[in-house]
Amino acid sequence: MDKIAGARFDPEINRIFKPLKKMQLLTEFLFIAMVSAKFILLIEVQKTIDSISPDNLAATQHYLKVCALMILCFFLINCVFQYFFRNLQYNSHYTLIKSLFGLALEKDCAFHEKYVSSAVLSMVKDDSKFISDWKSIGIITVTGNVVTMVFAFLIMLRYSVLITAVIFLAILLCFCVTQYISKIISAKTYDLQVSNTEMNRKIVDYLNGIRDIKQYKKEPFFRDRLADFIDRNTCRHSKGISQYYSVFTSIYAVLTTALPVLTVLIGVILILNLRYTMGSMIAVFALAENLQEPVLTIPDFLNLRRQALAMQNKILPVLQASPADYSAKALESMDSFSFHSDSYAFQDGRTILRHVDFVVRKGKPIIVKGGSGKGKTSLFNLISRFYSTQEQPVSMEYNGIPVETIPPKLYYQHVLQAQQQPCIFQDTVLENITLGEACDAQALVEVLHTACLEEFAASKGLDFRIAQNGENISGGQRQRIGLARVLLRKPDILMLDEPTSALDPELVAVLTERVAQYSLHHGIA
């Protein structure tokens, strides 16, 4: 954690928060204005109390009016500050989520193979909260509370050097202790966050296998496995945090009680020796109370900075740019696509696609046949660049250009795959096909006809809203919507991974014929 304390935020994080700088400065100004108004009010209260005398009513009334005005100013400034402060906190987190999600979408498919969606969600949404809180309100809170302490001690010196020295030493001791405890809490909070991420992964993993769990009556087994993990990991870390937080908050409780009482006791002694006034004692009492929050808040938010830097390490896979050397700047319409594989090895050691060579020609159909597990889908995923060929004896060339030198966005303008189980988004039929792109009405009609969706579109309408994962439509309709999505883009190479597995035989024959004619007409391989 010491290394983290001296670390810096990634330049990408700083870039994301740069547009919020003006709002931060305005909020910081309001914080200092609020603190200034509060301390001016305390001074005026002291003057009011010390002016109370039958012979000095006019002065007392004047001070009372000033106090009333300062209360109103403090209230108004505080209202505006709280609005900007909370708004900045929320906006910062949403800004970071939007940026991190955009960065995650830009990652290649190898990244998303390595990090499952639940892990990416945790990085983008949960882990980022620590970072956004520090980068938005954390800096403001620490700066504002430092200003509070400086103002409080300067004003306190005006009333009593002795009381100021005693309170300063007490606060310095408490600050050192809370700073030490904060470091321990920070380390344990990071461990807890890692444990929560793993817990989320296990829950998603188990729920994805709910059919097998039900079928083999293994509900108690998986329930106990999760409970055991929570007890041994998550609860253990949270218990440690609770123990140290109990000391942390106890220090705050002592400060809340001891400091004001101490100022009163010393003040009474000074008043008896005619070296102090009642108004001064009340003012110092109030100043001592105002010092309690900075003593606890500053270490707490410095702890937040350490946690934010630790969480930054967790989300580095999203932040860091993937090194890629894409030398190809443009692609012509395909003449040929060649594939060569000596073999392809998975991480578990299983090897497929031994000695596979073929060439795809413009507008020519190819059928890939093989038994289950022989690598048909993996072959398509390699051509689609869903799988990485790094350190694999696999090579592909598009018009003689090595595929790995072609930017993915450029490549996917020419090579597309209609997957067996396409992703259906929670949106309209039209949006699921076009994905927000403008398209020619005639081209859309042609695609609906080719994918055998004209009856579905006529009965439901293109504005029909599909539920999440396409739960309100059939498996065959999902497949055909996915097929229509890829046909609309007229790629040079169209890969169809058993696109008719959910259709009845009669529809399969019609769909196959229509897709063949469409491909022939548009020169699609």
Looking at residue 306, its pLDDT comes to 86
Looking at residue 6, its pLDDT comes to 47
Question: Is 324 within a domain?
Answer: no
Does 191 share its domain with 296?
A: yes
Phi, psi of 329 (to 5 degrees): -105, -20
- For a pLDDT cut of 70, what percent of the chain falls above it? 98
Please say if the pLDDT value at position 492 is more than 70.
Answer: yes
pTM comes to 0.76
Does 213 share its domain with 129?
A: yes
* Domain termination site, one of 411, 434, 465: 411
Question: Is 327 within a domain?
Answer: no
Question: Is 364 within a domain?
Answer: yes
**Domain of residue 470, CATH code:** 3.40.50.300
- The three-state secondary structure class of 393 is coil
Question: Is 472 within a domain?
Answer: yes
Confidence band for 5, pLDDT divided at 50, 70 and 90: very low
- For a pLDDT cut of 90, what percent of the chain falls above it? 41
Please say if the pLDDT value at position 400 is more than 50.
Answer: yes
* Domain termination site, one of 411, 443, 475: 411
> Of the candidates 193, 199, 189, which has an alpha carbon nearest to the alpha carbon of residue 228?
199
User: 234-268 pLDDT, tens per residue?
Assistant: 888 888 888 888 887 787 777 777 777 888 888 78
Does 458 share its domain with 358?
A: no
Does 103 share its domain with 134?
A: yes
Q: Identify the residue whose tokens are 């030198």.
A: 405
Does 291 share its domain with 337?
A: no
Looking at residue 198, its pLDDT comes to 86
Question: Is 197 within a domain?
Answer: yes
Beta strands in 390-499 (DSSP E): 394-398, 401-402, 415-418, 493-496
**Domain of residue 295, CATH code:** 1.20.1560.10
Does 370 share its domain with 485?
A: no
HSE value, Cβ hemisphere, 13 Å, CA-based, for 368: 20
* Domain termination site, one of 266, 288, 319: 319
Question: Is 43 within a domain?
Answer: yes
CB count within 10 Å of CB 460 equals: 17
First-last CA distance in the chain: 56
Does 439 share its domain with 507?
A: yes
Which domain covers residue 351, as residue numbers? 333-411
User: 410-450 pLDDT, tens per residue?
Assistant: 999 999 999 888 888 889 999 999 998 898 999 999 999 99
Looking at residue 396, its pLDDT comes to 95
User: 211-233 pLDDT, tens per residue?
Assistant: 888 877 888 888 998 999 999 88
Looking at residue 2, its pLDDT comes to 44
Average pLDDT over residues 511-517: 93
Does 283 share its domain with 391?
A: no
Does 387 share its domain with 424?
A: no
What is the distance between the alpha carbons of residues 525 and 45, in angstroms, rounded to a whole number?
86
Does 115 share its domain with 196?
A: yes
Does 246 share its domain with 121?
A: yes
Does 119 share its domain with 183?
A: yes
Please say if the pLDDT value at position 388 is more than 80.
Answer: yes
Please say if the pLDDT value at position 272 is more than 90.
Answer: no
Looking at residue 126, its pLDDT comes to 87
What is the distance between the alpha carbons of residues 153 and 162, in angstroms, rounded to a whole number?
12
Question: Is 326 within a domain?
Answer: no
Q: Which of 17-21, 36-40, 347-351 has the lowest mean pLDDT?
A: 347-351
User: 134-145 pLDDT, tens per residue?
Assistant: 999 999 999 999
Under 8 Å CB-to-CB from 297, ≥6 apart: which residues? 141, 142, 145
Average model confidence (pLDDT) for the chain?
88
What is the distance between the alpha carbons of residues 411 and 512, in angstroms, rounded to a whole number?
26
Average pLDDT over residues 489-508: 87
Please say if the pLDDT value at position 352 is more than 70.
Answer: yes
Confidence band for 323, pLDDT divided at 50, 70 and 90: low
Looking at residue 253, its pLDDT comes to 76
- Total structural domains within the chain: 3
Question: Is 225 within a domain?
Answer: yes
Please say if the pLDDT value at position 116 is more than 50.
Answer: yes
User: 276-321 pLDDT, tens per residue?
Assistant: 788 888 888 888 888 878 887 888 888 889 889 988 988 988 988 7
